[in-house]
Chain A
């Protein structure tokens, strides 16, 4: 393996549906300066910059050219990673490569999306021009199709799904950056919210947010010097799968790419019982049903038991494995940043800077990224370098 590398600083913007007070570059700047402040560094200390976003949502080509300056990329090594929903985690993995390769001592990754600047549903509709573009109902339609398969296959209920929404929006209240904070949300309200695509209700789906998130990596020597408790990268794995929705049966149940990425990452770190061994998980939940499906795919429980995990409260803040103390993607979703936020929130827990969302004594954290069922990223962060 490459040299030991850790996250030593994180920074986020206030995420909400419209950040009209800043442009895209200024949004990036807000996250980048917050991360520099957190790491007690200046822009001069950063050797390389990786940006991550979904460029077509804002109708940009090469947005790193404009927005890079907001991340301090001026006169530095910089490029942009863009892999759909996983952009934010793939960018984070690229930032890790920059430092672990030994080529750079530090690297900053900034994931960002400013949905309100563009037309996200048009951007989502611009899929395969011959096929999907005419008939697909973008992400929500695809999700809903998969949910029908998943419910039939694994017997998960609407109430269990709604409980995920309640957990997420309550957790979000402890996160000053979160977009949707709903302290009093009930299962009934979730199920009475407008139907988007049967059986998915509005409150079971992620929002569209404006926001950016930055993380700073450093090599071993510097990490130990600059940070009292660095979040060491112990595994970073990506797997891709077929893009045609119809080429894999039961996308949510099978999610081959996530299962395989997790298997490889667990092996690297020696994880055998993820529910017991991880202290926190920040997983990319585009909708409530996916969070339950990921419990099964990530081995937190056996197949068909994901719903029970939610019923028993095992993934609540006070449960055996708190999942998404931040409120997750269903509370905050600036797509290009959503993956980076998972990594930052994971690192934050190890840094002990989680504030009201801090889980006690965090050592081992699982982070995942997700893109349209085809792409999965898995990272494992730890308070210990090995």
Chain B
């Protein structure tokens, strides 16, 4: 990129099992105002808005309609990416890079509690071959988990260690929904959902929202003393039919991260990145994704974790926030990871702050078993 896009304001809600005490519009208005306040801008300064949401999760058609007022889009430009919040960030970034906007607000919201998240995920699968089989994100992930674990001789206890790390670290994150002292025994004794995935291996159902303010290089410098820059970004989608894929490989993530590294000039992610916030809805995915993003060799995700490399004090902390295991507002997840990455790079991550964090990776995913992958590198 010749010109960089800056992130000058961020905000996220606390992630909760159920926010039904608030209308969606109230929640979104809160994060939007907080992100604008964080950026020191008002609605008049914002040129365009990008939202992310999915109709079926919102239970209404063209569901961004309900947000027009509260994202300040009256007589402004708004577009919606129907997918992960990190996808909306891509759209926002391009809006600025092509000169159509100097200041873009990106907003993502989802209420997992409102419907039946796994039931809805069945409607992601093609209606002819896969949907009638009753596949959903959980059962499909269980297929992927078994294949991955068999191939690399990973045990259920290994996966439980991911949960232990995340839930323990989440205690440092005031926004986390699930945060507690956890042992591998706790995870191993939690109810089996879809072999080998147990209740505690899976992200909870969450409600939440995030907003960020993106700015052109010029505007970011003018408005912010310490903007965080998007240094690299990659997105890639692979095959839809599970049978077309080797679920233990993840070419989309490998390609998306490679592109982001190239743009950011990263040769050795472990040395150069200070932390990674990774969208892993199930414990095994954190291991698989870290391998595919080149943090360690194939099958070594668990060794990398056992060596403490991904712990909050490790060489490359992964999910010091607790990740999705600590809170999973479905389509918001990728934007949550980006907000956490920005807070870290700013040095404002409080108790979960990684020492001297200067460059961070935020990862988002969409579809089933990581079919669509987003990687963004941010730094100061």
Contact = CB atoms under 8 A, between A and B. Distances in A.
B83 A69 contact: no
Interface string B45-60: 0001000001111011
B237 A242 contact: no
Contacts of B59: 126, 129
A118 to B, nearest CB: 10
A77 B259 CA distance: 11
Interface stretch (B68-76, B146-154, B279-287): B68-76
Interface string A46-78: 000100001111011110111011000111111
Q: Majority SS of interface residues in chain B? A: mixed
Contacts of A243: 65-66, 68-69
A190 B57 CA distance: 41
Interface in B218-254: 233-240, 251-252
A2 B100 contact: yes
Given A82-B62, A102-B2, A371-B62, A62 B68 contact: no
B351 to A, nearest CB: 34
B372 interface: yes
Contact of B73 (A80, A128, A240): A240
B77 A2 contact: no
B238 to A, nearest CB: 6
Contacts of A126: 59-61
Interface in B323-348: none
A93 B79 contact: yes
Contacts of B255: 75
Interface in A119-142: 123-124, 126-129
Interface in B166-182: none
B226 to A, nearest CB: 25
B77 A79 contact: no
Q: Majority SS of interface residues in chain A? A: mixed
B122 to A, nearest CB: 8
Contacts of B83: 62, 64, 79-80
B237 A75 contact: yes
Interface residues of A, number: 63
B366 A62 contact: yes
Contacts of A241: 68, 74-75
A23 interface: yes
Contacts of A94: 79, 91, 94
Contact of A240 (B76, B99, B233): B76
Nearest to B86: A79
Given A62-B82, A65-B368, A103-B1, A237 B123 contact: no
A236 B48 CA distance: 13
- A-B pairs with the 8 shortest C-beta distances? A2-B98, A100-B98, A84-B62, A101-B97, A82-B82, A65-B367, A238-B77, A97-B94
Given A59-B123, A97-B97, A243-B68, 8 more contacts: A2-B99, A55-B55, A60-B124, A66-B125, A79-B366, A82-B81, A90-B79, A127-B65
16 contacts: A54-B55, A54-B62, A56-B60, A61-B123, A64-B82, A64-B237, A64-B372, A65-B237, A69-B239, A73-B237, A75-B236, A80-B81, A100-B100, A127-B65, A238-B78, A243-B66
Interface of A: 1-3, 23, 25, 49, 54-57, 59-62, 64-66, 68-69, 73-84, 90, 93-94, 96-98, 100-103, 117, 123-124, 126-129, 236-243, 256-257, 260, 371-372, 374-375
